[in-house]
Amino acid sequence: MENYSNFHIVQHPLIQHKLTLIRDKKTSKKEFSELVNEVAMLMAYDMTKDLPLKEVEIETPIKKMKSSVVAGKKIVLMPILRAGIGMVNGILQLIPSARVGHIGIFRDEETLQPHTYFFKMPKDGTKRDIILIDPMLATGGSIIAAVDKLKERGCKNIKCLCLIVAPEGVKAFCEKHPDVPLYTAALDECLNEKGYIVPGLGDAGDRLFGTK
């Protein structure tokens, strides 16, 4: 695959270890859900390492001091329904003040085309930094549609977080939205004839919610 400057693979050993457990078909629904949240939290930690800081004055029990707090705009987490929901609580543990919007998109099983059925963002969402989350980026259709919608609404500062991506989808995404950083834990081999990521982890929504 070509190199895209907006595409980042997070290689941390703990993320890679937990991702192996997530992929394993023997992993239970409970463990799968816990691990998806843990990996989402670790990835969010990495992708927020450039958040700007500002100094404030506080007083410790010993003396007054200047110390750093996160400056700038507040964050909105935007899970793509359904499977993106599985990553929200993990990231909220790290950034409890983040607001949460929702975008409902499902892909047609035959055509693999995305269909948007729900959109709700905090009122001042366009002024905030958006983290769009979905465990899987396969053809890229769903996440491209989600970023299209956010840009249409006036959002400017968007980052995407997906656990596993396929090369076909990364190419489509990076060519359509080169200005939007995309973070992942794994770039897999390809898509199969049904549009599933190979080797992937199967259907993320079904494994999270036990719907199969």
Comparing every residue's Cβ against ligand PRP, the nearest one is 205
Query: What is the Cα–Cα distance from 84 to 87, expressed in whole angstroms?
Result: 6
Q: Which two tokens stand for residue 15?
A: 């993320």
Binding residue for ligand PRP (CB under 6 A) from 79, 86, 101, 114? 114
Binding residue for ligand PRP (CB under 6 A) from 77, 133, 136, 163? 136
Q: Which two tokens stand for residue 19?
A: 């991702």
List alpha helices for 166-211, DSSP H. 167-176, 204-209
- Which residues form the interface with ligand URA (CB under 6 A)? 83, 136, 138, 196-197, 200, 203-205
Q: Kindly give, in sequence order, each residue whose CB lies less than 8 Å from that of residue 3, ignoring residues fewer than 6 positions away.
A: none
Q: Which two tokens stand for residue 104?
A: 């409902």
Say which entry of ligand URA, ligand PRP, none residue 140 contacts (CB below 5 to 8 A, set by partner kind): ligand PRP
Active site residues: 107, 111, 203, 206
Contact yes or no for 179/201 (Cβ under 8 A): no
Least separation in angstroms between residue 43's CB and ligand URA is 17
DSSP letter (8 states) at residue 73: P
Q: Which is nearer to ligand URA, 90 or 205 (CB)?
A: 205
Binding mask 81-110 for ligand PRP (x = CB under 6 A): xxx---------------------xxx---
Q: Which two tokens stand for residue 127?
A: 């002024």
Say which entry of ligand PRP, ligand URA, none residue 139 contacts (CB below 5 to 8 A, set by partner kind): ligand PRP
- Enumerate binding residues for ligand PRP (CB under 6 A): 80-83, 105-107, 112, 114, 134-142, 169, 195, 204-205
